[in-house]
Structure 1
Amino acid sequence: MRMKTSKILSCTALAALALGFGPKAVPTLKAVYKKDFYVGAALNNRQVSGRDAKSTALIKEQFNTISPENLLKWEAVHPQPDQYNFKPADDYVAFGQQNKMWVIGHTLMWHQQTPKWVFEDAAGKPATREMVLKRLEDHINTVVGRYKGKIAGWDVLNEAIDDQQGDLRKTKWLEIIGEDFAAKAFEYAHKADPKAQLYYNDYSLYRPEKREGVIKLVKSLQAKGIKVTAIGMQGHYGLTKPSIEQVEASIVAFAKLGVHVNFTELDIDVLPNPSRRQGADIADTFTADAKYNVYTTGLPDSVQQQLTKRYADLFALFHKHRDVIDRITLWGVTDADSWLNNWPIRGRTSYPLLFDRNFQPKPAFQAVVQAAK
């Protein structure tokens, strides 16, 4: 284990020298942004269980907040009505506590990765409002209650706004419970852990229509006396879209609501996207096509430079608004971990993060460290 850790340190030491730090002053993301916001990553089961030692060393070295990529989604933690699978989530929370990290819970209510039984009665027919509300309350009480005082903040509601018009997304939650489904989820979460921060999380929030939909939703919750601590802007961005100005407009608009902002799922897709939409709807999938998997043997230097500038510009923006931004979370640790290797097409070779497949910092890492200055 010691040898593996030293190898990682030597990689970041190279970045330190390139930035003008002394050989002993290894820059880490959590250190350079210590006075500004938390910097973290989404973790998978192999990492939290200790089966990926190199990733674990890198996580401990670089990050001070963690999110569970899939471990706490409903289908993973509560697959059957009377069955909970807490072992992976317990490992995740224990890892965060042992390393004194800001531990995030993701997610309590989502239209994806929620088992069918939640919305059906014993005969397989649509469940009643009362039945679904009882299941939602029991789930939140059990899951949030288990980690009360251990998980600092929860993505209570995920992706509830329609991509196009900014209306409430047509989901089973809306169909069966009605328009107060969001309020109920936040109420149950607050009751289960009154001290936990509670968040709304969504993608493409730079789009004016979607931004306005979220503003309307949050205002409706605030009118009921429900506190939303922060809005999570999923940063699933491309090399050029959205523009920095578009992202900034949403930061400013959300801050006017009296809430803070988190960038919750940051990655930069460098590959051609078969979808004309810039988003993160996991239902949008496509069949394999070589023209969308163009860097199988490595990322060309010209694209690496684009990626570096993109991260530099984004972190300069985050640093500018550090008064309202609490957390930046990368959606994965190294390029090998990224969901973009399998979305929207399976089996691609993607390069969206700050560390490469050999656990080495990319030029983008150096640019992010520099942006803190």
Structure 2
Amino acid sequence: MIMIMKKCICYLLFSVLSLSLFSCASEKQEKEPGLKDALKDKFYIGTALNRDQYMGYNCAAQKVILQHFDAIVAENCMKSMLLQPREGEFFFDNADKFVEFGEKNNMLITGHTLIWHSQAPRWFFVDENGKDVSREVLIERMKNHIYTVVGRYKGKVKGWDVVNEAIEDNGVWRKSKFYQIIGEDFIKLAFQFAHEADPDAELYYNDFSMARKGKREAVVRMVKSLQEQGIKIGGIGMQGHLMMDDPSVEEFEKSILAFSELGMTVMVTELDLSALPSPWKNVGANVSDAVGYQEKMNPYPNGLPADVESEWEDRYMDFFNLFLKHSDKISRVTLWGVSDATSWKNDFPVRGRTDYPLLFDRDYKAKPIVSKIMEAAENHGSRKFSKTYKVNNNVSFQVEGKISEVK
């Protein structure tokens, strides 16, 4: 009996120790104002979460999340390959934890993504012989997947990226298996099924390169077609994977306006800004010389030089000022990740690079741009003035303030 009691005590101590090691402190702490406070009257500010973050294994990240963000999206755990790796066998453990984290912290939760050609399980498209399934079979599989996933989180997930990346940059349909087997109707059906599964959920189309004219015009045509057919679509997600020279702020703005004119809520999704050169624009580099190529593609392994960091910061601010300008049209801006330490841009499109695309550094410290965004948000809708009054040759004083703009 004594031995059993000792074992129980040891097990209890081990459990307590495990909780302290592998979960973040839950006690309420006084929090400093963050991005979400500065932007609360403008739009939601969100971030994509990985498993370590919503499970509480990365406490430094979680502290940043709770201070600065009021919206979350799952980086991976809601993609079909992970939710339904085999037909009819759903794995919801991680997605449940993600949603639970969002509910516990009163965050806007977005589901990402229901239908996407990438990170979809192979079984979705083939029969027992490895041949493409019929149109009817694929439609039924889509319906079952969407009904099951959306139905499980009905009332908990505010909105869904229903279809992801279905259009090429030049405006033609991506020749995905969904398109090849079903045709362009797969878009309409996906939105129809999602609406049937949760009539109150907001339903979005999400894609990259949305500032390009060809894609912008194709998305406008698609949305108009859905609207004419009576299909519910509520918003457009403009992925913001920015580079230092592309896209232009002006073209990005054109897309915000074009989508808004359709009655769509506009969201800036998957936002990051790479400070590194694009390999597609450096095809003249000596690719056969692996070391030389890596040096060209990974020029800042130990940190950004001051001049590059300044340019990077200015470009980020250009876009945030654009978002603030159109805050009446934009409902959410979501960063694709919390910190540079875990950003996917470190390995894309060249593995092993060190990139700096997010607002928090590798130690989860806020970069100077965070306070600049907060200041810009505070001054949005007002015009700053500064005037120096001269009393005599030796004495002067300066008056600073804000003049409210007439809307």
TM-score by length of 1: 0.89
Aligned to 1:118: 124
Give unmatched runs, 5+ long, in structure 1.
Answer: 10-23, 278-285
Aligned to 1:95: 101
Aligned to 1:258: 263
Aligned to 2:39: 33
Q: Which of residues 147, 151, 157 in structure 1 aligns to 2:153?
A: 147
Structure 2 CA distance for partners of 1:95 and 1:71, relative to 1, 3 Å = same
Q: Which of residues 169, 177, 201 in structure 1 aligns to 2:206?
A: 201
Q: Which of residues 159, 172, 175 in structure 1 aligns to 2:165?
A: 159
Q: Which of residues 28, 53, 60 in structure 1 aligns to 2:59?
A: 53
User: In 2, are the aligned partners of 1:311 and 1:367 still within 8 Å (CA)?
Assistant: no
User: In 2, are the aligned partners of 1:308 and 1:367 still within 8 Å (CA)?
Assistant: no
The reply to whether residue 357 of structure 1 matches residue 362 of structure 2 is yes
Aligned to 1:332: 337
Question: What is the one-letter code of the residue matched to 1:82?
Answer: G
- Answer with 63-72 or 310-319: which moved more: 310-319
RMSD: 1.8
Give secondary structure in 2 for the equivalent of 1:275. helix
What CA deviation, in whole Å up to 9, does each residue of 1:37-57 have, x standing for no partner?
A: 000100001111111111111
Question: What is the one-letter code of the residue matched to 1:236?
Answer: H
The reply to whether residue 346 of structure 1 matches residue 351 of structure 2 is yes
Alignment partners' CA distance in 2, 1:162 and 1:242: 16
Alignment partners' CA distance in 2, 1:99 and 1:26: 16
Aligned to 1:104: 110
Structure 2 CA distance for partners of 1:364 and 1:239, relative to 1, 3 Å = farther
What CA deviation, in whole Å up to 9, does each residue of 1:67-123 have, x standing for no partner?
A: 101110111111111221111101100000000000000000111001111000111
Bigger radius of gyration among the two: 2
Alignment partners' CA distance in 2, 1:114 and 1:132: 13
Alignment partners' CA distance in 1, 2:304 and 2:371: 17
User: In 1, are the aligned partners of 2:338 and 2:360 still within 8 Å (CA)?
Assistant: yes
**Percent of counterpart pairs with the same letter?**
49
Aligned to 1:69: 75
Alignment partners' CA distance in 2, 1:174 and 1:182: 9
Give secondary structure in 2 for the equivalent of 1:336. helix
Alignment partners' CA distance in 2, 1:48 and 1:78: 20
Give unmatched runs, 5+ long, in structure 2.
Answer: 1-19, 283-289, 380-407
Alignment partners' CA distance in 2, 1:205 and 1:291: 28
Alignment partners' CA distance in 1, 2:197 and 2:277: 43
Give secondary structure in 2 for the equivalent of 1:289. helix
The reply to whether residue 127 of structure 1 matches residue 115 of structure 2 is no
The reply to whether residue 213 of structure 1 matches residue 218 of structure 2 is yes
- Answer with 165-174 or 148-157: which moved more: 165-174
Q: Give the paired residue count.
A: 345
Question: What is the one-letter code of the residue matched to 2:234?
Answer: T
User: In 2, are the aligned partners of 1:307 and 1:364 still within 8 Å (CA)?
Assistant: no
Q: Which of residues 186, 191, 202 in structure 1 aligns to 2:191?
A: 186
The reply to whether residue 244 of structure 1 matches residue 246 of structure 2 is no
Aligned to 2:300: 295
Alignment partners' CA distance in 1, 2:250 and 2:375: 21
Give secondary structure in 2 for the equivalent of 1:249. helix
Looking at both structures, which has the greater relative contact order when contacts are Cα pairs under 8 Å and sequence separation is at least 6?
1
Give secondary structure in 2 for the equivalent of 1:264. strand
